Each structure stands twice: as C-alpha cells, then as structure tokens.
Homo-oligomer: A and B are copies of this chain.
C-alpha cells in the first residue's frame, strides 16, 4: 500500500479535487480489461453479426471510445484532461462464453488515465448488454480492472496476479 490515507479528502475529511498543479506534464497511459459473460446462443448472434451484419462490437467499441471522454463528467473528483489516444479491443471468446475487452488510453497531462480506461471498458461492455438484453437478461459484466499504467510520479505499475 502506497499511502495510509485517502488523498481525495482534505484534512477535515471533506471531498475535494486533489491539487495536481505542481505535477509534471508527462505522457501517461493506462491499459484495462474486463469481460461480459453470456449464453452461447447470444455470443453466436454477436459473432454472426460481426462478420455479416448487426455489428454489436463495432457499436460497443464506439460507445467505449466516446465514454472515455466523459470520465470527468461522471466521476466526481476526476480531473478533466484531454486524451491523445484511445483504442478498444473486443474479442469474442466462445470457449469462455464471453466477450473480452481490453482498452488503452493515453494522455499528455498532469494526472493519469486509469479512470478513463476503466470507464471505456465498462461502457463498451454495458453497450453489449444493451444490444443483447432482449435475448439474454442474465449477462454479467465481470472483472473490470487495471492491467498496467505508466507515466507520472508513481511510475510504472503492472498487475502481478491474473485470474
């Protein structure tokens, strides 16, 4: 554990947007992952559409990219910052009955982009849920987490354990 208190509260315990004015403007990136599990028949519909028509994954990818730009709107103490790159991979995994999502976000700024990458992952997966919910309400959005980050004073970080 790096800190023993939560920086998003001031000395009085009140929420504030942390002062990052003294931090260096550096290149920062974050990579996140997550997946959505579903019935085999639902996944088959997605895979069919991806090749032919009804491109669920194309819509979900767009939704995730657009959501990455809304992190500061949605997460109360998140700093607004411009993004320089967003890329979302959506991979149907039939043997696991799921669609896997991996998102990379980059910026040149004073804070990191982990929240932007996690949010993009969440919204891509939620969009898959939305488009398939009429045929499968029991889908589960699972294991959304940070894989790796770089840049900033806390430097490089990588997830050590895997599921």
A residues engaging B (CB < 8 A)?
1-10, 12-21, 27, 34, 39, 41-42, 45, 49, 52-56, 58-59, 61-63, 65-70, 72-89, 106-110, 114-115, 118-119, 122-123, 126-127, 129-146, 149, 154, 157, 159-161
Contacts and interface: CB of A to CB of B under 8 A. Distances in A.
Contact of A53 (B12, B65, B126): B12
Contact of A69 (B52, B72, B126): B72
Given A6-B132, A75-B123, 8 more contacts: A1-B39, A8-B131, A16-B65, A17-B87, A19-B84, A74-B123, A122-B123, A141-B144
Nearest to A63: B76
This chain's copy number in the assembly: 6
A40 to B, nearest CB: 10
A146 B66 CA distance: 24
A18 to B, nearest CB: 7
A90 to B, nearest CB: 8
B62 A76 contact: yes
A86 B17 contact: yes
B78 A130 contact: yes
Nearest to A55: B58
Contacts of A65: 15-17, 76-77
A129 B70 CA distance: 16
